[in-house]
């Protein structure tokens, strides 16, 4: 998959609230009741995606392949006009060749397999099912042999597997998988319940992460980073996640965010976990938007001069969440780098525009010097 395809607008459609794994880091555990979403409801979601301009459908769960009409749903999405139909799966159901063959024949374009360990002991411990590793790698081995099917992978990076990350990628590579999506652990669901077991500091594990990201240099491979703090990639800005992908995180928590924005309902996740969350700055903005009724762009970092003077635009409290999210991504998403630590502006500066930093790098930031004497400043 090239970078353009990775950024194409996608419609995420939940097929089930059931899963045959019980991952220690599951973000969706609160929603699991074992239900299969009725096909008419799924069709309505797919139609709404087309109206929104989406051309790629992502079938998710729970575990989407548990749905008794999974292959047919993949076919429906393809016939409705989606040019690419992808499933996010733990792979265990696809170790049965009949389902794999029927799904691809119906119109399934890609399967993203979740593999979280390079050994049965590690993977099975993290997903909570003995024997899951064997079923998942069996499915991957079968899938890579299917002509035309794109096979990709994702790994939830956490304290237990971060030192194995390179081994996981190596295993996938030698099985024929060439795309690896590394997802930083998020403080929701069962992940928060098991936070002491799963939390790690990416800075302290930089060497292990560097070895994993080094696979991006292997011809034909793609390594993606999701939910990592952008400042972690100072000097390697090509790995910073596209800001536009934050919209998936925002819309994935739409009910909770709108309940706060419209009615002031307390966000249950608010508090200690915020500093670990990719939405921390966005949620802070929602608080300001609710109190002020309207927000403009975040002030430009002083060190960038007039080059990044913000435009005169704003977003209103009455706007829908997608519009608010898009405004944040374009006009208020900022980041700080190492140079910012020595800047005289300190907390007065909200940081530099993320798009600017991705284009020119953190090295483009020049801290405002602190006072060197009475009435003097350095530069």
Distance CA 256, CA 263 (A): 10
Alpha-carbon separation of residue 148 from 6, 59, 151, 154, 375 (angstroms)? 18, 18, 9, 20, 69
pLDDT tens across the length of the chain (379 residues): 555 455 578 999 999 999 999 999 999 887 788 999 999 999 999 999 999 999 999 999 999 999 999 999 999 999 999 999 999 999 999 998 799 999 999 999 999 999 999 999 999 999 999 999 999 999 999 999 999 999 999 999 999 999 999 999 999 999 999 999 999 999 999 999 999 999 999 999 999 999 999 999 999 999 999 999 999 999 999 999 999 999 999 998 999 999 999 999 999 999 999 999 999 999 999 999 999 999 999 988 888 765 556 678 999 999 999 999 999 999 999 999 999 999 999 888 989 999 999 999 999 998 888 765 444 444 4
| Distance, CA of 305 to chain centre | 32
The pLDDT of residue 221: 98
The model's pTM: 0.91
Place of tokens 């899963």: 19
The CATH class for the domain spanning 3-228 reads alpha beta
Asked if 311 and 293 touch (Cβ cutoff 8 Å), the reply is no
Measure the CA dihedral 80/85/89/93, to 10°.
70
Asked if 356 and 308 touch (Cβ cutoff 8 Å), the reply is yes
Any idea where the domains of the chain sit in the sequence? 3-228, 256-364
The pLDDT of residue 4: 45
């Amino acid at each position: 998959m090239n970078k353009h395809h990775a950024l194409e607008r996608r419609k995420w459609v939940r097929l089930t609230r059931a899963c045959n794994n019980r991952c220690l880091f599951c973000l969706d555990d609160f929603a699991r009741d074992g239900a299969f979403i009725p096909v008419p409801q799924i069709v309505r979601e797919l139609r709404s995606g087309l109206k929104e301009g989406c051309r790629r459908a992502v079938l998710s769960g729970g575990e989407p392949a548990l749905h008794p009409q999974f292959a047919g749903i993949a076919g429906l999405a393809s016939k409705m006009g989606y040019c690419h139909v992808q499933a996010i799966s733990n792979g265990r159901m696809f170790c049965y060749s009949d389902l794999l063959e029927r799904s691809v024949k119906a119109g399934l374009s890609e399967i993203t397999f979740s593999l979280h360990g390079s050994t049965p002991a590690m993977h099975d411990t993290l997903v909570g099912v003995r024997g899951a590793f064997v079923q998942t790698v069996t499915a991957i081995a079968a899938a890579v042999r299917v002509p035309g099917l794109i096979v990709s992978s994702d790994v939830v990076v956490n304290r237990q597997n971060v030192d194995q990350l390179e081994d996981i990628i190596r295993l996938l590579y030698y099985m024929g998988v060439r795309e690896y999506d590394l997802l930083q652990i998020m403080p929701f669901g069962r992940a928060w319940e098991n936070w002491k077991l799963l939390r790690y500091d990416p800075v302290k594990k930089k060497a292990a992460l560097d070895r994993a990201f080094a696979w991006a240099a292997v011809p034909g491979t793609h390594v993606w980073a999701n939910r990592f703090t952008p400042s972690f990639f100072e000097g390697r800005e090509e790995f910073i996640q596209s800001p536009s992908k934050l919209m998936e995180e925002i819309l994935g928590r739409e009910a909770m965010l709108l309940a706060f924005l419209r009615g002031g309902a307390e966000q249950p996740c608010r508090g200690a976990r915020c500093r670990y969350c990719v939405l921390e700055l966005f949620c802070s903005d929602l608080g300001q938007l609710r109190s002020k009724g309207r927000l403009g762009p975040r002030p430009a970092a002083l060190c960038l001069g007039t080059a990044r003077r913000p435009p005169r635009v704003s977003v209103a409290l009455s706007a829908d969440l997608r519009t608010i999210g898009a405004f944040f991504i374009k006009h208020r998403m900022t980041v700080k780098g190492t140079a910012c630590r020595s800047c005289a502006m300190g907390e007065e500066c909200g940081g530099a525009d993320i798009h600017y930093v991705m284009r020119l790098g953190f090295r483009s930031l020049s801290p405002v010097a602190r006072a060197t004497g009475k009435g003097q400043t350095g530069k």
